[in-house]
């Protein structure tokens, strides 16, 4: 018994050493709390107190900055939104009513809705496609680097780039240069868009951009069709000096269409001078009683020949010879300016979506994908029923991030949209700037717009917080 006691209260004798005769051994006692004056108690109290003080010291600067830079501006913006333009009279909810009654602000709200729906969706979809398609190819890393590169430039630089891309002139704007090139490949372009006759010429306007001879033509009388106003750059490269036509056979009508202009001066109107060039390719029609009875195309020297059926007809130069050249699409016009700017945003942020989705794709269990393929699923079924559902958390992160981002978009719209269509491309962040600054600033309206933007962001943030918490509980 002495030995057992010496072993301490927490030690019980082994089973084979238990005393016989039914004698019970007392159960070991649990250790109680240390005395209040013991060093352990002093240490625990000190540690607890120190943690509280340190936490307060470290959090205080952050709380001060948070209050000064976030809480105070929010509270003051809400307060200021209930006052008039001068800030001296209480306006109630009049500023908030203006958000939905003023046409300019309503356009901004509508455009923001378009941005929130389409920009994040398109950028995420492209990021998903790029990430999946480049996963197995050898040069996938290089491709991802190229797609991600636009993220390295600022919104200001991207706006300047796309302002040039969308320039209306095909010689400057890349978008219209490509569009016009494709159009002119499949559609015949006008040869002489600015050509016209002088009052002394034997031609007159026929309406719709066409010109006709002032008198009917007769066989054996060469017809002269002089024009002016053709730029040297628009003249055919293989045009030859104009010449008078030869006599027609069997009542044929012959004539010459030429540029009645001598470079450097000189020359006489209605006379083919030595340095004047023929209008190669210009179309000539013979018209009787409003119907075209014959047509011809001028050669390199401007001469043409019509059959005898053209005798007594008026010769017409149709409007197709003079229509303005196709200049492409007005990308920054009222109808296309918002989609155009969204395109520049997608160009910048599709790389961001691709990188995040590619990281999530790299973490997918390959054995699950291979098992689906072994079971007979094709690549589209694997992508739709396995890859996309397993990437849902990553896709949600990308979508929510881009939604919050597009609600704040300002730089691209301000720089890309020209002054003539800036109202049509207006968004809430741009309207906030326009309402809050300038000679006609209304800080009441500006503050109301800021509060509206905050209210639009809060549901997206709450969704993100719930998603993060749900992921944390897994």
pLDDT digits (tens, 9 = 90+) for 221-264: 899 999 998 877 778 878 899 998 887 788 899 999 999 988 77
Instruction: Mention every residue, 6+ apart, whose C-beta is less than 8 A from residue 410.
Output: 155, 427, 429, 430, 433
Q: Which helix (H) or strand (E) holds 176?
A: helix 174-186
- Alpha-carbon distances of 351 from 126, 137, 362, 387, 404, rounded to whole Å: 9, 17, 16, 19, 17
Tens digit of pLDDT for each residue in 418-446? Answer: 988 999 999 999 999 998 887 778 899 99
Give tens-digit pLDDT for 54-79: 888 888 999 999 999 989 999 999 99
Best CA proximity match to 447, nearest among 89, 73, 109, 70: 73
pLDDT of residue 207: 84
Of the CA atoms within 13 Å of residue 204, those in its CB half-sphere come to: 6
Q: Identify whether the C-beta of residue 255 lies closer than 8 Å to the C-beta of residue 222.
A: yes
Closest Cα partner for 348 from 160, 142, 158, 163? 158
pLDDT at 165 over 90: yes
Distance CA 80, CA 88 (A): 10
**Average pLDDT value for residue range 310-330:** 87
Residue 100 — very low, low, confident or very high, per pLDDT cuts 50/70/90?
A: confident
pLDDT category at 127 given cuts 50, 70, 90 is very high
Segments in 408-442 forming alpha helices (H):
411-416, 428-436
pLDDT band at 327 (very low <50, low <70, confident <90, very high): confident
How buried is residue 137: exposed, middle or buried, by Cβ count under 10 Å (0-12/13-18/19+)?
Answer: exposed
Instruction: Name the β-bridge partners of 149.
Output: none
CA angle 252, 253, 255 (to 5 degrees): 140
Q: What is the pLDDT confidence band of residue 324, given thresholds at 50, 70 and 90?
A: confident
Distance, in Å, from the CA atom of 110 to the CA atom of 107, rounded to the nearest integer, reads: 5
Cα-only R_g, the chain: 41
Helices 337-362 + 155-165 axis angle, to 10:
130
**Residue 45 reports pLDDT greater than 50:** no
Give 29: exposed, middle or buried? Use CB within 10 Å, 0-12, 13-18, 19+.
Answer: exposed
> What number of other Cβ atoms are within 10 A of residue 30's Cβ?
7
In a 3-state reduction of DSSP, which class is residue 382?
helix
- Choose among 430, 275, 255, 258: nearest CA to 337: 430
Residues 430/108, Cβ–Cβ less than 8 Å: yes
Do residues 385 and 377 touch, judged by C-beta distance below 8 A?
Answer: yes
């Amino acid at each position: 018994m002495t030995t057992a006691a010496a072993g301490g209260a927490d030690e019980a004798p082994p089973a084979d050493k238990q005393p016989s005769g039914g004698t019970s051994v007392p159960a070991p006692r649990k250790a109680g709390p240390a005395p209040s004056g013991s060093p352990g108690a002093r240490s625990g109290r000190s540690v607890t107190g120190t943690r509280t003080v340190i936490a307060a010291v470290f959090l205080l600067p952050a709380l001060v900055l948070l209050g000064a830079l976030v809480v105070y501006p929010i509270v003051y913006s809400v307060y200021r939104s209930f006052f008039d333009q001068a800030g001296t009279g209480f306006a109630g909810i009049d500023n908030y009513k203006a958000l939905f009654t003023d046409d300019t602000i309503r356009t901004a709200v509508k455009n923001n809705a378009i941005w929130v729906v389409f920009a994040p969706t398109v950028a995420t979809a492209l990021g998903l496609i790029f990430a999946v398609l480049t996963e197995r190819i050898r040069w996938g890393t290089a491709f991802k680097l190229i797609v991600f590169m636009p993220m390295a430039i600022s919104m200001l630089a991207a706006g300047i780039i796309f302002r040039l891309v969308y320039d209306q002139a095909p010689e400057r704007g890349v978008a219209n240069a490509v569009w016009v090139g494709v159009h002119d490949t499949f559609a015949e372009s006008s040869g002489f868009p600015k050509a016209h006759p002088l009052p002394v010429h034997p031609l007159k306007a026929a309406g719709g951009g066409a010109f006709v001879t002032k008198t009917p033509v007769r066989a054996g009388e060469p017809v002269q069709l002089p024009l002016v106003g053709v730029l040297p750059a628009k003249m055919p490269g293989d045009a030859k000096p104009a010449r008078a036509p030869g006599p027609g056979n069997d009542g044929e009508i012959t004539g010459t269409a030429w540029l009645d202009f001598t470079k450097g001066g000189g020359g006489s109107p209605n006379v083919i001078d030595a340095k004047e060039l023929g209008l190669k390719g210009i179309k000539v029609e013979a018209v009787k009683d409003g119907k075209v009875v014959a047509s011809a195309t001028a050669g390199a020297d401007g001469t043409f020949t019509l059959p005898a059926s053209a005798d007594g007809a008026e010769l017409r130069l149709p409007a197709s010879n003079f229509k303005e050249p196709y200049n492409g699409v007005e990308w920054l016009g009222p109808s296309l300016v918002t989609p155009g700017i969204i395109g520049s945003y997608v160009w910048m942020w599709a790389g961001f979506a691709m990188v995040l989705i590619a990281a999530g794709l790299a973490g997918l269990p390959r054995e699950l994908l291979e098992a689906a393929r072994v079971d007979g699923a094709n690549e589209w079924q694997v992508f739709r029923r396995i890859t996309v559902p397993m990437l849902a958390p990553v896709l949600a992160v990308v979508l929510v991030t881009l939604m919050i981002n597009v609600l704040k978009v300002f730089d691209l719209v301000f720089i890309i949209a020209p002054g003539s269509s800036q109202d049509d491309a207006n968004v809430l962040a741009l309207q906030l700037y326009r309402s809050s600054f300038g000679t006609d600033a209304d800080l009441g309206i500006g503050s109301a717009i800021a509060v509206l933007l905050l209210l639009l962001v809060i549901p997206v943030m709450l969704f993100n917080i719930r998603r993060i918490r749900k992921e944390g509980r897994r």
